[in-house]
Amino acid sequence: MTVHVVVAVVLLAVPAVVPTVACVGVRPVTLFLVPLAGSVLVAVAAELELAVGGSLLMWFVILAVVANLMAARRLRRGAGPPRDSFSSPWPWITLLVVVAAVVWPLHALRNPIVLTDGYAIWTLHSIFIYGGHDTFLSGLKNPVTTFSNPGYPPLVPASGALAFIGEGRVDIRLAVIVTGVLEACGLGVVACGIAEVARRQVSAVTRGASLVVAAALCLVGFGSGIAGLSAVGGSADLTWAAAGVAAVVYGLVLPRSPRHLAIAWLCATVASLTKNEGFVTALFIFLLIAVRHRSTLVGLVRSGPFGSGRRAAAVVGEPEPDPTPSKVVRLLFVIGSTVVMAAPGLAWVLLMRLEGIGSDFVGHSTETFAQRAHPTLAAFADHLHILPVAAAVAVVGSLVLRGTRTRLGLGHPGWLWLVIAWSLVAIAATYVFGALEIKWWLATSIVRTMIFAQLALYTDLAVWCVVALTRTPRPEETTPRYRHSARTGAPVPTEPDRQLSARH
Amino acid sequence: MRRVGEGVVRVVIVVTVAVVLVAAAHSAVRTTSALAGPVAGRSWSVLYEQQACLRAALRRSLPRGAEVYLKTPTVGLEDDLIFGAVLLTPWAHPTTAAAAHWTVSIRIGGAAGSCQGVGVRVRKV
């Protein structure tokens, strides 16, 4: 089995190495992003298999070649983000700690745990995709298999199908293990994001503490408080939740930069291609990212995706023209950016509508609104015990540590809470206006549908912990460490900070 | 005074988050250890091997590409139908009663080719 797992992960990751390095450079987070980028490639390949015909492998190879050619062009022009040299010990320590924290929970995969959802949805869809266009389409349209929610997006099943191709046969357990690896990668990206909060800190204690917090978050993400059995049983819920939270951390919490934008974009795409609620939440994340990073996006559009990184840093200090002349243009730009970023997920939704494929929970129920709303709210309350603690910390932190947070270049804490609120409203609306009998539905799914909100709340706590541990000099005590480029939004070190970076 | 207040808030936040994360991580480690342990391993292995056995039994009893109707199980749960459809795929195609050439039912005990107490019954329509 170990050989097949290694082959499956290599098959998924190798075509994505160069494109990922071209976009985000060589950093600890790159290790976790590569398999996720591969899973996006294979998900788009599954979309093409369904829409156009052919096999998954054929489209995966074509997409991999195209992505690598584009990445090679970017790297040849030297326009990629500057690489971290791994010359200081911190990137290595980060890598070791996060790898250990995400790999340890995976040892539960040595037992053949496959939950009902693992069988009835994800691996079944993997079998459809593995069978080629005709099997894929007829499988999704088969009225007998409506129970499998045929409209669910293809990222997890396509990754499983690619693993089947690697082994040369259907192997349910292998698909479940690949899902676990993707979950681990998502949590790894979140953990690296937490570590990035303290990246500019000189204090070894703060940086070390941020790593401990990040590692604890990985264990919690896999554990009983959040995912538990579903994390190692083949369900896709932790995959989308971890990727969604990673997108929030890099897109809405960490300082604005083209590199963080690329990571957030990739992670939100993973979420949008993994589950329906992931798609709805990712759409909102894309919208907020487009609002927060509009200057960076304008820079990318103006200088092209192959030239923004270095050019952005080069223009610091120069007078920059107003990138968005009017509110209408700005609004159109934000909407356009959201649609472009969400394109892979939107394509799947469109494809499902064109083929008339839906899910069995969509429809009308005989229960009244009140009969559905009360148990839904009660179930939410039962599974969000962490909410009051996280809210209290966020309120107190916002009131007292706002300055520290600003000096670290972090985004407004409200962004993350907006995403959590949107996700909860979307899930509540699905329960209240859905077709399935509500008590059975809640009993069988609430543990999984709350994973994103719980993980996001724990992540917010972790970020506040690192902020609280950070002692940043006040503006009157020192010169600014960096400033944001008005054109790209990228944080650009001032001269003293460059010297500091060179030392550490 | 303000700095002292800020320092107290920092300590309170760090302690609160530390307590919450340690408690949650401790619970998570226990859960993961239980899932990875031999007891969980035995019970999940039984289920997994049972399903592998049923899949093999279906392949022995049905021709490749057969159109199959899954009969509502006389005992057990609705899940049996789901597992039946999953176990059939991709060897055969689960379909409606009208379109099927074969019927399959999953039965507890007694059936030929029993897999640890569960068997499949296959009939040509």
Q: What is the 3-state secondary structure of A233-277? A: CCCCHHHHHHHHHHHHHHHHHCCCCHHHHHHHHHHHHHHHCCCHH
Residue A245 lies in a domain: yes
pLDDT tens per residue across span A399-443? 999 888 988 889 999 999 999 999 999 999 999 998 888 998 999
- Strand pairing category for B118-124 and B102-108: antiparallel
Mutate: best of B20, B33, B95, partner A, most A CBs <10 A: B20
Residues 6+ apart with CB under 8 A from A467: A197, A397, A401, A404, A405, A408, A410
Residue A42 in domain: yes
Dist. CA B113–CA B120, nearest whole Å: 7
| Whole-number pLDDT of residue B122 | 85
Per the CB < 8 Å rule, is B32 touching A114? no
Is residue A352 assigned to a domain?
yes
Neighbours of A446 (CB within 10 A): 18
Is the CB of residue A145 less than 8 Å away from at least one CB of chain B? yes
CB-based contact A468 B9, cutoff 8 Å: yes
Chain A residue nearest residue B23, CA to CA:
A220
Rounded to 5 degrees, φ, ψ at B77 are -110, 170
In a domain, A216, yes or no: yes
Contact A471, A205 (CB under 8 A): no
* pTM score: 0.88
pLDDT digits (tens, 9 = 90+) for A167-198: 998 888 999 999 999 999 999 999 999 999 88
Residues of A in contact with B27 (CB under 8 A): 223-225
Could you state, in order of their start, the residue ranges of all structural domains in chain B?
1-36, 49-124
Instruction: Identify the CA nearest to A231 among candidates A283, A187, A168.
Output: A187
Other beta carbons within 10 Å of A428: 17
The distance of A215 to chain B (nearest Cα, Å) reads 9
What is the reported pLDDT for A320?
A: 47
Whether residue A110 lies inside any domain: the answer is yes
A138 touches chain B (CB under 8 A): yes
Name the minimum distance, in Å, from the CA of B42 to any CA of chain A: 8
A 395-434: CB under 8 A from B: 396-397, 400-401
Q: Which chain A residue's Cα is nearest to B15?
A: A465
Asked if A216 is an interface residue toward chain B (Cβ–Cβ < 8 A), one would say yes
Lowest mean pLDDT among A22-31, A85-94, A232-241, A385-394: A85-94
Contact of B27 with chain A, judged by CB distance below 8 Å, is answered with yes
Residue of B nearest to A130 (CA): B90
Closest CA–CA distance from residue B82 to any residue of chain A (Å)? 6
Does B9 contact A at CB distance below 8 Å?
yes
Per-residue pLDDT tens over the stretch A259-316: 999 999 999 999 999 999 999 999 999 999 999 988 777 777 766 654 544 444 443 3
Q: Does B60 touch chain A (CB under 8 A)?
A: no
Distance (Å, rounded) from C-alpha A223 to C-alpha A473?
A: 37
Residue with tokens 């800020």: B6
Cα dihedral A228, A231, A232, A236 sign: positive
* Overall domain count for chain A: 1
Contact A197, A410 (CB under 8 A): yes
Does position A372 have pLDDT exceeding 70, yes or no?
yes
pLDDT class of A142 with cuts at 50, 70, 90 = confident
**Residue A394, domain member (yes or no):** no
As a whole number, mean pLDDT of residues A6-20 equals 95
Read off the tokens for A95: 């890598």
ipTM comes to: 0.85
β-strands B102-108, B67-70: how paired? parallel
What are the structure tokens assigned to B92, written together? 């055969």
| Structural domain that includes position A13 | 2-74+88-305+326-356
Return the higher-pLDDT residue of A112 and A324: A112
The verdict on A463 touching B (C-beta cutoff 8 Å) is no
CA distance B85 to B74: 16
